Structure 1
Amino acid sequence: MKYIIIPTLNEEENIGELIHQIYQYMPPSETMVIVVDDDSTDSTHQVVRNVSKEYPQVKLIIRKDERGLGTAVRRGAEEVGDGPVVVMDADLSHHPRHLPSMFKALAQGADIVVGSRYVDGGGIRGWPGSRIAVSKVATLIAKIIFRVPANDPMSGFVGCQSAETLTKGIDYADFKFLLELMVKNRTLHISEVPIVFQDRLKGSSKLKAKTIGLYLSLVIRLMLESGSQN
């Protein structure tokens, strides 16, 4: 079985379409979709329940007392059985057409596969130049400070060989987890698959102005932890 974890918060406009698209590219009998919802106030829950009538491999988890992307990923990993797992965004920015190539890379031996915007064949659609510049600066900082082996360490489209790999030594915060995963697990074999990132067309972003602060907080925390281990 292959597993896909999708954290959600008020994604009623996107989640149904995303799940339908996933099963256009992945065999339903071999693919479980795990939706981890942070108690959305819109109709996200009902949309997922309706879709699960057509695809019984869809599982909905509603969290009442926790919030945040990282902890949602950890909660989803608890439902993963024996098989590879991919984490993707709910807003259709990560297109399911990339899933087969990501699972293929895992089948070929990668411990982690990164859906990368910054390798040949990858790209970004819908972002203004200023946002792309900020993203590339954040990527450059991560590569210089931590010498991570991926070209897109801030990607949220990530596959792992197992749930154990996904949660290996990670203290998830309310932000992207890939950078921390790579910094704390230097021996893992990392592969990159080109993806074309599409900015959301429906709904509203959950990070916005908080993004830079969350990123800097993560970088400082990882630097302090790395320094204490030397």
Structure 2
Amino acid sequence: NEAPVIPELISELREAFSRHHLEGEVILVDDGSTDNTAEIAEQVAEGWNALKIIRHQKNLGKTESMVTGANSTSKKYLVIFDADLQHSPNEIPRFLEKLAEGWDIVTGRKLGAYSKRTVSSIYNRLSRKIFSVPVSDLNSMKAFRKELLDSLTLRHDWHRFFVVLAHARGATVTEIDIDLYPRRAGISKYTSKFRILVGLLDLVSVGFLLMFSRKPLLFFGLTGLVLTGFGAIVAVAAFYLRFLHPMLGFEAYIPPFGYRPLLYLVMLLEMLGFLLVGFGLVSEQVAQLRDELDNLRKQ
């Protein structure tokens, strides 16, 4: 739903392509718009063969739009930004220069007034702390090698973690300063407070994936051993109180709830512990199979 700015966007893109002698495609993904965005783009760009318009029948989200755009081209490099003209198409050559230097991913560090600066700052700081990504702005204009996106499976709304996931696989990342301009029309679609909670949960999910997907036994096995050990401690304590305590001349101690609940607790802890260790071993085999499939796909 960016119909008000589409004419200006296409005009600036054509000017940037002409001024900087750029070659390639401009892919506009219409993510289920209800304001004739695609139709207006077709009219404005008539005669410009560089523009390709792809439509989603319904709104799927930014991640799906990014993947759709990438799948529709065979170009080596991709430059991605929103159509709201808060990022200038004239920045494209600077991103391409960095890619030509050998970097796998180039992100933009926004300079200028930003309505969501506080929330964005918290998110970016948490991401840098958790994932050790050497950039200060993960959700900005970016350029990268297409093969990186092809090698990843992004879940819904995981576009913001593309840099994190690619970096975890060894991609080199750098950033450049870019100007952020005020919106020329419309309102941001990412203002819901609920999105903050979703973003934090996604952050935890990605962190868990990166920490334990390669070595699942590290998490499940360790947790299982802790539960098994705790169950053994409870069993020893119950045995001591029930049998050894009276044998040593002390008065028998009988818990208010009796000994049977302790027995059930021991059984539960031991069963959960062994199940988690077994699940960790199976997960190791699944991870190994996934790595082998990834290698086959690369070949």
Normalising to structure 1: TM-score of the pair? 0.83
Are the counterparts in 2 of residues 158 and 178 from structure 1 also a CA contact under 8 Å? no
Name the SS for the 2:200 alignment partner. Answer: helix
Question: What is the CA-CA distance between 1:213 and the residue it aligns to?
Answer: 2.5
Please name the residue that 2:119 is paired with.
134
Normalized per residue, which structure has more strand?
A: 1
Structure 2 matches for 1:10-29, cutoff 5 A?
10-27=1-18
Structure 1 runs of 4+ off > 4 angstroms? none
* Residue correspondences, number: 210
For 2:173 and 2:104, the matched residues in 1 are separated by 6
Q: How far off its partner does 1:199 sit?
A: 3.4
Which one scores higher on RCO, CA 8 angstroms, separation ≥ 6?
1
Q: Counterpart of 1:154? A: 139
Alpha-carbon distance between aligned partners in 2 of 1:160 and 1:199, rounded to the nearest angstrom: 25
User: Unpaired segments of 5 or more residues in structure 2?
Assistant: 216-299
> Residue 56 of structure 1 is aligned with which of 32, 49, 52?
49
Answer 1 or 2: which has greater helix percent. Answer: 2
Rg: which structure is higher?
A: 2
**Compared with structure 1, are the counterparts of its residues 228 and 168 closer, same or farther at alpha carbon in structure 2 (3 Å cutoff)?**
same
Equivalent residue in structure 1 for 2:72, among 79, 82, 105: 79
Q: Confirm or deny: 8 A CA contact 1:110 1:191 kept in the other structure.
A: yes
Q: Does 1:190 align with 2:173?
A: yes
* 1:205 partnered with 2:188: yes
Structure 2 partner of 1:124: 112
Do the aligned residues in 2 keep the contact of 1:14 with 1:91 (CA within 8 Å)?
A: yes
Classify 1:181/1:168 alpha carbon distance in 2 versus 1 (closer, same or farther; 3 Å): farther
Q: What CA RMSD, in Å, does the superposition of the two structures yield over aligned residues?
A: 1.9
Instruction: Pick from 104, 124, 129 the counterpart of residue 97 of structure 2.
Output: 104
Equivalent position amino acid for 1:200 in 2: R
Q: Deviations over 1:94-136 (max 9, x none)?
A: 111211101111111111110112xxxxx122x35xx322221
Taking only the aligned residue pairs, the percentage that are identical comes to: 27
- Structure 1 residue 66 displacement after superposition: 5.3
Report the secondary structure of 2:29's partner residue.
strand
Residue 150 of structure 2 aligns with an amino acid whose one-letter code is T
Residues of 1 paired with 2:149 and 2:210: CA distance?
A: 20
